[in-house]
Amino acid sequence: MLNSSLAWLCLLIGPACAIPAYAKDALAVLMKDDAQWVSQRKDYANQGYSGLKQINQQNVNQLKVAWTFALGVNRGHEGAPLVVGNLMYVHTAFPNNVYALDLNNHQKIAWSYFPKQDAIIQALLCCDSVSRGLAYGDGKIFLQQNDGVLVALDAKTGQLIWHVQVTDPKTGATNTNAPHVFKDKVLTGCSGGEFGIRCFIVAYDIHDGSLAWRAYSTGPDSDVLIGAGFNQANPHYSALAVYEDVNGGNREGGSFRAFSKDKLTYPEAELGVRTWLKPQALKQGWEHGGGPVWGWFSYDPLLNLMYYGTGNPSVWNPDVRPGDNKWAMTIFARDLDTGMAKWGYQVTPHDEWDYDSVNEIILWDDHHRKLATHFDRNGFAYTFNRADGTLLVAKKMHPFVNWATSIDLTTGVPQKDGRYSTHEDNAVQGICPAAIGAKNIQPSAYSPKTHLFYVPLNHLCMTYEAAEAKYVAGQPWAGASITMFPGPDGVMGGFMAWDGLKGQSVWYNREKFTPWSGVLATASNLVFYGTLDRWFKVLDAKSGKLLWKAQVGSGIIGNPMTYTHHGKQYVAVFSGIGGWAGIALNLGLTADSDGAGTAGAYRELSQYNAAPGGGALYVFSL
C-alpha cells in the first residue's frame, strides 16, 4: 500500500507526482524514510546520503558511544548494517553469520542465522574473507555467502525461504559482494579473476530465486547480453581495437598508442571474443577471461537501467592476452527486466595493472541532466550521461596518476604513457597508482546539498613484474608480482571533495594510511568515515575541517550509516581491519610482495591493530 503521507502529498501536487513508480516499488518508498537504512548505500542511486540533521556541526563534538555489539568473528568487516523498522540486521566476515537486533529491546538478538560453509573457502578468497553486506526487499533479508550460495531469509523470523548456488567454489569462484534488490529482482555477481573464472552478473526472481537472466563479462554477444541498439549513442565504444602497437606492443619494451577517432573501426560485434587475440595456453582466452563483479550496483527506476562495473581481465600478465580484452574493465548499463546492455564503456582497455572497474557508480541529477559518476581504481574520475553513456568528464583524481596522461573525450580512450607498460619478466617501477587503485571498493558519497562527492583515496605506487603462469582449474592464476609504496605525497591515503562536472578536487586532506572505509554524508553538511589506524572521523562537508574523531577497537573498513530510533539519530559503523589493505596483517604475512603487494606498504598497521582484526559494531549518538 502506498505510504499515506506520500499519497496525501501527491493529491496536493497533482499530476507531477509519480505515484505509479512508488506504488509498484515498496522498497523505493522505504528508501525515502531517513529513519531507516534499507539498502547498503541508502538508495538505488548509491549516494550514501541521509537527510537526517539532528547531529549537526554545532553538536557533533558531543557524540559518544551509545552501544556496541561484538560480532564474534575476526577478520575484515566491510559493508554496513541495515535498519528496517525496529530491527537492525548485521553480518560478519566468513562464515557470514547474520544477526537481527531488536532496537526496541536493548538490541536483544531477535534471530540469528549461521551458514554452514567449508573452511577451505577462505583460502579461495583473494583479499580477506569479507562480506560487503546484506540486502532487504519483499520482507526478506538476502545474504550472498562466500561459498557462492545466495539465501533469502524471512526478515521477521530468520527462517530460510529459498537459496540458490550462484558460483562453484571448486573452480575457484567465490563471492564477496553484497546482493542488491531492484524492484522484483535480486542481483549478485562473481569473484575469481585471480582464478581464471569467466565471471558474470546474475538476476534472480525475488519471490522464489528462479533465474531471471545472466550476463557474462566476456564471450559472445549472446552471452554478454549485447544486442541491437547497444552503444547506439556512442558506437565508437564498440571499436575493434583502440590502440596501435608501439615497438611490438606486448613485447618487452613495447607499448600502445591510442587511435584517433577517425582510425577506429566501429561498431563491431562479438568483441568479447574478437578482442582476446592470443590463446592463454588454452583454446580461447576469453573462456577464462575474468571480469569479476564484486562491487556496488545502482538503479534508475525511470530509465529501468541498472549500472555496475566489471573487473580485471585474467591473467595479470598482459603479454599473453593482446587486444582490448572486452568486456572486462567495463561500466555497463542494463535493462533490469531483460539484462540486455543499453551501453558499455571500457574504462581501461587492455588492462596492464589490475585496475578493476568494480567501484560504485553514483547516480545524480544536475538541472534535469541525468548523470552518473564513477571513481575508478585507475585514478580517473568519470561523469557520464547515464541514459546513453556519453562521457562528459574524465579527469585525474590526483596528479600522481602517471600510467596515462589523459582520457580523450572524443573516443573515451586513455592516452597511455609507454614508460609504465608492463611485460613478462620485466619489473616496471614507479607505476601510479598501485594495483590497489587510487580508490578501491570503499564507496564514496554524494551530497545533493553541496553538490559534491566525498571520496576516500589510496595514495600508493608500485613495482609490477608480470610472470608466466599456466592455468589450472581451481588454482590461483595471478601471473604477476607486486610491491607497493607511498606515492609522492609521502603518505598512503587522502580524502577529498570532488566536483563531478568540473572534474576537480575542491578540498583534499592527507591521511597517514589509506581510508578503507566507505563514506556517509548528511543534510547537516557532515561527512563520516573511518581509518585503518582505528579513527572514526567527522568532517565539515564544505571545508574538509575535522570536527570530531574517536578511536575504536580495530581499523575501520566498514561503511558508516545513520538512522533514528524513538526520534533520536544514531550513526553506526563496523570495525575489524582487513580487506586487501589488511589481509597481510590478518594472516601474519611480512614479505614486501605478500598480500598481493600490501604487506610491505602497510607494515606499520601492526603498531595500531591487533591481528586478526576483531569484528564489532559501534553505534554513536548525542
Residues 504, 443: Cα–Cα separation, whole Å: 18
- CA pair distance 50, 47, nearest whole angstrom: 9
Q: Is 391 left (phi over 0), alpha (psi -120 to 50) or beta?
A: beta
Q: Position 166: which residue type? A: V
Asked if 17 and 8 touch (Cβ cutoff 8 Å), the reply is no
- Residue corresponding to grid cell 562521457: 391
Set of cell numbers at residue 274: 574478437
Contact indicator for 378, 355 with CB cutoff of 8 Å: yes
Pair 535, 515: CB distance under 8 Å: no
Residue 142 contacts residue 161 (beta carbons within 8 Å): no
Distance CA 48, CA 45 (A): 8
How many C-beta atoms lie closer than 10 Å to residue 607's C-beta? Answer: 7
Among 243, 251, 230, 220, CA closest to 305: 230
Q: Under 8 Å CB-to-CB from 14, ≥6 apart: which residues?
A: none
Active site members: 354
Kindly report whether the peptide bond that precedes residue 486 is cis, defined as omega within 30 degrees of 0. no
614, β-bridge pairs: 74
Strand order in the sheet with 135-137: 135-137, 140-144, 149-154, 160-165
Q: Are 469 and 479 in contact (CB under 8 A)?
A: yes
Task: Retrieve residue 156's grid coordinates.
Answer: 521477521
Instruction: For residue 126, give the nearest of 347, 319, 320, 311 by alpha carbon.
Output: 311
DSSP-derived pairing of the beta strands 520-522 and 49-50: parallel
**Nearby residues of 8 by Cβ (< 8 Å), 6 or more positions away:** none
Q: First CA to last CA across the chain, in angstroms?
A: 35
CA pair distance 278, 349, nearest whole angstrom: 16
Please spell the DSSP secondary structure of 251-279, one letter per residue. STT-EEEEPPGGG---S-S-HHHHT--S-
